[in-house]
Amino acid sequence: MDYEKWYTSLLWTHYGNPSILYCGNTKGLIFSHDTRSHANQTPSQLKMKGIVTSLQLTRNDTHLVASDTLGNAYLWDLRMKKVIVEYKGMKNESTRIPLHLDDEEKVVYGCDLEGYTRLWCKTSGRLLRTIPSPVPCSSTSVPAVMYCENLGNRPGNSALLLGAGDKLYVYKV
């Protein structure tokens, strides 16, 4: 299998074992490599439906949020190697659109090709909010977004920051 040439997303583990590398590729596969092991060992793999565009690990390295070019977004349990939550509604056809986890790891969010920022509950997959972009979007100009539950270090002061072009928009969430 010649999967090394087709990586689209790369991610190192955080804490438990910083030697594990997760790699998403153009065939929809997500491989995990233990960089301390021998090269001839078969890596573990997960299967997405489209080209892998985004990978995010939880802080404890037991769950992985992954998305693809078909708009699929999933929370994988890495111990069981299966999808445990699906996040519905992302629109993507051909570009690398990142999904994010908030600092508390309660919310999964991202902006899609249609310019909508969607926020989901990480554990249930329930869509919490959809925010339209204030500017037109395309495959080359998807806004950058960041969600914070305690903006300015103030508990309960949740907001979404959206950067598009040379403008920054703040949404109270």
The residue extents of the domains of the chain are: 4-172
pLDDT of residue 7: 63
Do 136 and 113 contact (CB within 8 A), yes or no? no
- Within 13 Å, how many C-alpha atoms sit on residue 85's CB side? 18
Q: pLDDT digit of tens for each residue in the chain (173 aa)?
A: 454 557 667 667 766 667 788 888 888 889 888 887 776 666 678 999 988 889 999 998 899 999 998 889 999 999 999 999 999 998 887 777 889 999 899 999 999 888 899 999 999 999 999 999 888 877 677 888 999 888 888 888 899 999 988 899 999 98
Report how far Cα 130 is from the mean position of its chain's Cα atoms: 17
Do 131 and 121 contact (CB within 8 A), yes or no? no
Q: What is the CATH number of domain 4-172?
A: 2.130.10.10
Beta strands 29-34 and 20-25, pairing class: antiparallel
Structure-block tokens of residue 36: 């301390």
Q: 101-104: long-range contacts at Cβ-Cβ below 8 A with a sequence spacing of 24 or more?
A: 101/56, 101/58, 101/65, 102/147, 102/148, 102/149, 103/148, 103/149, 103/150, 104/149
Structure-block tokens of residue 121: 């509950």
Global confidence as pTM: 0.84
pLDDT of residue 128: 96
Q: Which residues contact 166 (CB under 8 A, 6 or more apart)?
A: none
